[in-house]
């Protein structure tokens, strides 16, 4: 029996908004693909590009970074920095052969349980379509 390729996805979720949103998806019993492994960080700005590059090195097929909507950051300004940093990293990794579709930045608030499951379902399908990363 041939099993379909299951991508391995790492998610960095900010504690205050997106992690709470993911929690809400769980308590609301909304299902979404289990390919994603979630790492909780205090703020999306805590996500050092090193984390993302290391995740890819360790075998991640996709990385999802989620934070509060701009303007709603629990620490006021963190996500503005995240936005700049990830924009640059996204373009840079693509330049080095890690396709644009493998890294995504999303804003998910604590009340957006449904949206969270949508995002993960979407992203998982997007990464799966690319196939596994060449090792």
Partner 1 sequence: MSQPIRDKARELLQTKKVECVIGWERATDGVTARPLFVYDIKDVDRLIFDQTCVHNLSRYLRDRKDKTTAIVAKPCDARGINMLLNEQQLDRQKLFIIGVVCQGVNERCWGQADARQQERCQWCRQHVPPVYDFLVGEKPASEPSAPSYPDIAEFEKKSPEERRAFWEEQYQACIRCNACRHSCPGCYCQECFAENLDPTWVGIRIAPAESQIWNLVRAFHLSGRCVDCGACEQACPVNIPLMLLNRKLQKDGIDFFGFEPGLSAETAPPFATFKKDEKLEGGE
- Asked if 85 touches partner 1 (CB under 8 A), the answer is yes
Considering only residues 23 through 42, tell me which ones interact with partner 1, judged by CB under 8 A: none
- Candidate residues 84, 111, 125, 129; the one interacting with partner 1 per rule CB under 8 A: 84
Q: Note whether 69 and 106 are within 8 A (CB).
A: no
Of residues 61 and 106, the one with the C-beta less far from partner 1 = 106
Find the shortest distance in angstroms from Cβ 75 to partner 1.
13
- Candidate residues 15, 83, 118, 122; the one interacting with partner 1 per rule CB under 8 A: 83
Residue with tokens 């805590």: 46
- Candidate residues 68, 90, 112, 117; the one interacting with partner 1 per rule CB under 8 A: 90
Distance (Å, whole) CA 48 – CA 39 = 13
- Asked if 99 touches partner 1 (CB under 8 A), the answer is yes
How far apart are the two ends of the chain, measured CA to CA in Å? 24
- Asked if 86 touches partner 1 (CB under 8 A), the answer is yes
Taking the CB of residue 37, how many other CB atoms lie within 10 A of it? 11
Q: With CB under 8 A as the contact rule, which of the stretches 3-11, 15-23, 34-42, 45-53 interacts with partner 1? A: 45-53
Find how far residue 100's CA is from the centre of its chain.
Answer: 13
Strand 103-107, strand 62-67: pairing? parallel
Q: Note whether 82 and 47 are within 8 A (CB).
A: yes
Binding site for partner 1 (CB under 8 A): 49-50, 53-54, 57, 70-71, 77, 80-81, 83-100, 103-107, 134
């Amino acid at each position: 029996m041939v099993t379909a390729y299951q991508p391995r996805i790492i998610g960095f979720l900010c504690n205050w908004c997106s992690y709470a949103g993911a929690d809400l998806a769980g308590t609301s019993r909304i299902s979404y693909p289990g390919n994603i492994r979630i790492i909780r960080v205090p703020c999306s700005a805590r996500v050092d590009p090193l984390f993302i590059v290391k995740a890819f090195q360790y075998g991640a097929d996709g990385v999802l970074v989620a934070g509060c909507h701009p303007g709603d950051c629990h620490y006021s300004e963190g996500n503005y920095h995240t936005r700049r940093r990830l924009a640059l990293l996204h373009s840079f990794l693509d330049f080095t052969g890690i396709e644009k579709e493998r890294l995504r930045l999303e804003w998910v608030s604590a009340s957006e349980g449904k949206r969270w499951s949508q995002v993960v379902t979407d992203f998982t399908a997007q990464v799966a379509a690319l196939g596994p990363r060449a090792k």
